[in-house]
């Protein structure tokens, strides 16, 4: 399967995590955003005006920022053989990504408490 990578190229690093996963897996992909006319093509795709042979990943609710990246990587991981084959292990890996985001935001994952020494 050949993937198409759409993202806002003006936001530095926006497509980087997904692009790195595709590169690491040796997956065939097209970095649409970096091509001439890529943003226009992305807008057509978002409006449903551009038909694509590659199915688009749709989320049950809008996903933005780190959440979108986590969900895209959760979807791609097993398909690119970058995530464990056992479902429980894949879910654990996904939980680690969620916890990493919470730490970055200054929070703690459920079950952890801050203590003073």
Separation of alpha carbons 73 and 78, rounded Å: 9
- Per-residue pLDDT at 25: 92
> What pTM does this model have?
0.65
Using a 10 angstrom Cβ sphere, with 0-12 exposed, 13-18 middle and 19 or more buried, the burial of residue 26 is exposed
- Per-residue pLDDT at 45: 76
- Per-residue pLDDT at 27: 92
Low-confidence ranges of the chain (pLDDT < 70): 49-66, 101, 104-117
- Per-residue pLDDT at 32: 87
């Amino acid at each position: 399967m050949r993937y198409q990578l759409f993202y806002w190229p003006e936001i530095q690093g926006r497509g980087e995590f997904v692009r790195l996963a595709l590169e690491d897996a040796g997956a065939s992909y097209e970095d649409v955003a970096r091509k001439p006319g890529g943003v226009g093509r992305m807008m057509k795709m978002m409006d449903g005006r551009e038909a694509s042979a590659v199915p688009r990943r749709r989320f049950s609710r809008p996903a933005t920022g780190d959440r979108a990246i986590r969900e895209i990587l959760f979807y791609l991981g097993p398909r690119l053989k970058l995530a464990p084959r056992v479902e429980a292990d894949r879910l654990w890996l996904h939980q680690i990504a969620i916890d990493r985001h919470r730490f970055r935001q200054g929070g703690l994952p459920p079950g952890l408490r801050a203590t003073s020494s």
